[in-house]
C-alpha cells in the first residue's frame, strides 16, 4: 500500500500515513489523535520535521520551498498538490522559506519556488521555478 509521511502540527510526531486515508481526509496523528493537515498528499514541514522525514523516508522526498508573498509560489501550490496525488512513489512536503530561513540559507535557496528532490537524505536534483503537475512528475521520475 502507498503511504506518505506527515508531521503532526500539534505534537510534532512524525506519522506514516496511508495515502487512501490522507486523500479521504481521515488521517490522524498516531500519538495525539488530532487531525493531520494534508493537502492532497502534501504536508507543511518545519526544519525539524524535514530532517525527520529525510531520515525516515524509504522513497524520494520532493520539497517545495516557497513563501506566501510569492505569486509564482501560490500558482505552483495547486500543481504541486496535484502531482502528489498522482505520484505516490515519492513523499511531497512544503517548506516556507520565511519561517525556515536558516534551512533555506543552508541549502542555498536563492529563488522561489524551488523544488528539490532528496533520496536517502541527500539532494539529487533541483529545479527553480514553477512547473505543472505533469512536468513536475516527469522531472521527479527522470
- What strand order describes the sheet that includes 38-39? 38-39, 42-44, 91-96, 61-66, 114-119, 122-128
Distance, in Å, from the CA atom of 132 to the CA atom of 83, rounded to the nearest integer, reads: 8
Catalytic residue positions, numbered: 70, 73
| DSSP three-state, residue 132 | coil
Q: Strand ranges (DSSP E) for 52-121?
A: 61-66, 91-96, 114-119
Distance, in Å, from the CA atom of 116 to the CA atom of 25, rounded to the nearest integer, reads: 26
Amino acid at each position: 500500500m502507498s503511504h506518505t509521511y506527515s508531521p503532526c502540527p500539534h505534537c510534532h510526531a512524525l506519522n506514516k500515513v496511508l495515502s487512501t486515508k490522507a486523500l479521504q481526509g481521515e488521517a490522524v496523528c498516531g500519538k495525539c489523535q488530532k487531525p493531520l493537515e494534508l493537502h492532497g498528499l502534501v504536508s507543511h514541514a518545519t526544519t525539524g520535521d524535514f530532517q525527520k522525514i529525510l531520515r525516515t523516508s524509504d522513497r524520494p522526498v520532493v520539497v517545495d520551498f516557497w513563501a506566501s508573498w510569492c505569486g509564482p509560489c501560490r500558482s505552483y501550490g495547486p500543481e504541486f498538490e496535484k502531482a502528489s496525488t498522482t505520484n505516490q512513489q515519492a513523499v511531497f512536503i512544503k517548506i516556507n522559506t520565511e519561517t525556515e530561513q536558516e534551512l533555506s540559507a543552508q541549502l542555498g535557496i536563492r529563488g522561489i519556488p524551488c523544488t528539490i528532490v532528496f533520496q536517502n537524505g541527500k539532494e539529487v536534483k533541483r529545479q527553480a521555478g514553477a512547473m505543472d503537475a505533469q512536468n513536475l512528475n516527469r522531472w521527479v521520475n527522470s
